[in-house]
Amino acid sequence: MGEIRKPIVVVGSISMDLVTRTPQIPGAGQTLIGTGFETTPGGKGANQAVAAARLGYPVAMVGKVGTDAYGPMLVDNLARAAVNTVAMEPAGGSSGLASIFLAESGENSIVIVPGANARMDRETIDRHAGLIRSAGMVLCQLEIPIDTLSYTLALCAEVGVPAMLDPAPAAALPEAAFRQIAWFTPNESETAFYARNAASAEESAQLLLAKGLRCVALKRGAEGVFIATQEGIGAWAPAFSVPALDTVAAGDCWNAAFAVALLEGNGPLEAARFAAAAAAISVTRRGAQNAMPTRAEVDAFLAAGR
Ligand code: RIB
């Protein structure tokens, strides 16, 4: 009989991404002629759920969509990726929306309108507490209300389920949250927000661990990821060098793949190598959820010794 794997449960956002391709990110007061427009499923939570599912891991998502036309499309997209949608709920009004400018360089800028994601509340978490308790790991981000996130982290801590927080977009967190998080995974600008005045990734990691965090993974794009833990790990996991076409959701891909690899019993540095490979593949493709690689693709990438 096969081993029963506890699912990854994502408690987070789901949005429709309205992506405008443009020569460069427009400055204030500037009008540019765009080169394309696409509507693609996104939202940091849903992106992470789809990425983990594509890697063959059981995943469920707790989230809310609007009663607009996008709501059913977003849930269908999760289901088609084999994400368990039993805890996806409709909320009145619009779905989450993300207005994205994607420059030819691969850089992006994003404005989020939370819509239904703002309706994630403590009662939503209570209704799905059984699912959360059953998780091998819970993945969270900061596109739902901070109160709901704090409540979720407290539940995870109480029942002993590790929680990984991708603190994006950066926002102030209650002090208790830092002690309830198993993995904290900020990118460079988010790290600057939480570890003010730190000069280097190494110094930032020390400041963050001093807040009570157990493990941090500081994502630095092409530089790689600096991993540091209370147990004394402090090392870089390098990124793979690939031509970047679209970096939207590369961080989400990294988080999901890192969680999958940790749950499969890998140490943090080996898990970060797997995640770096998954994220490298994702930036060579357009879209958020659409760019997430399968397990076979990541295995082939690593086998090719990239
Ligand atoms: O992390 C990328 C995501 O951020 C996009 O899919 C967009 O929805 C925003 O939430």
pLDDT digits over 237-295, tens only?
A: 999 999 988 889 999 999 999 999 999 999 999 999 999 999 999 999 999 999 999 99
Nearest to 41 by CA among 22, 10, 62, 13: 13
42 lines ligand 1 (CB under 6 A): yes
| pTM score of the predicted model | 0.96
Q: From the CA of 230, how far away is ligand 1's center (Å)?
A: 30
The interaxial angle of helices 70-80 and 44-54, nearest 10 deg, is 20
| pLDDT for the residue numbered 76 | 98
How large is the average pLDDT for residues 22-47?
96
- Give per-residue pLDDT as tens, 80-122: 999 999 999 999 899 999 999 999 887 889 999 999 999 999 9
**Cβ atoms within 10 Å of 63's Cβ, excluding its own:** 31
The full set of domain ranges for the chain reads: 43-62+119-303
Q: Is 190 in the pocket of ligand 1 (CB under 6 A)?
A: no
What is the model's pLDDT at position 112?
96
**Statement: residue 3 has pLDDT above 80:** no
43-62+119-303, CATH topology level: UDP-N-acetylmuramoyl-L-alanine:D-glutamate ligase (3.40.1190)
Alpha-carbon distance of 128 to 125, in angstroms, equals 5
Give the residue-averaged pLDDT of 5-18: 97
Contacts for 163 with CB less than 8 Å, ≥ 6 apart:
137, 138, 139, 140, 152, 153, 156, 157, 180, 181, 182, 183
* pLDDT average, residue stretch 222-250: 94
Decide if 252 is catalytic: yes
Ligand 1 centroid to Cα of residue 248, in Å, is 7
CB 182 within 8 A of CB 137: yes
